[in-house]
Amino acid sequence: MLFMLFQVLFTITMILKQALERGCNVLCESPVTINPEQYTELLALAQKQGCLLADALKTAYSMAYYRLVLLAKTGIIGKIVVG
């Protein structure tokens, strides 16, 4: 599963780079890249091309996520422990 995720992110990174090289604005679901160096490279390319490179975290704004957060805050599902 991790290998498959890596391949997908590697492919997405290459697609994003090609889009930016062609002067396209890019909005990509998070995470945009698998490491900070790749993101810095893409951001520099976007700036050089005069393009927008942005990530979207749409999960945090979905109704299902919002309802899950509300449910968690009520304590109905139990105590949530982080760490």
Strand (E) or helix (H) holding 29: strand 26-29
User: φ and ψ at 66, to 5 degrees?
Assistant: -60, -45
pTM: 0.62
> What span, in angstroms and rounded, lies between the C-alpha atoms of 57 and 10?
19
Buried b (16+ CB within 10 A) or exposed e, 15-43: ebbebbeeeeebebeeebbeeeebbeebe
What tens digit of pLDDT does each residue of 8-62 get?
667 888 889 999 999 999 988 778 888 899 999 999 999 999 999 988 777 767 7
> What span, in angstroms and rounded, lies between the C-alpha atoms of 73 and 65?
12
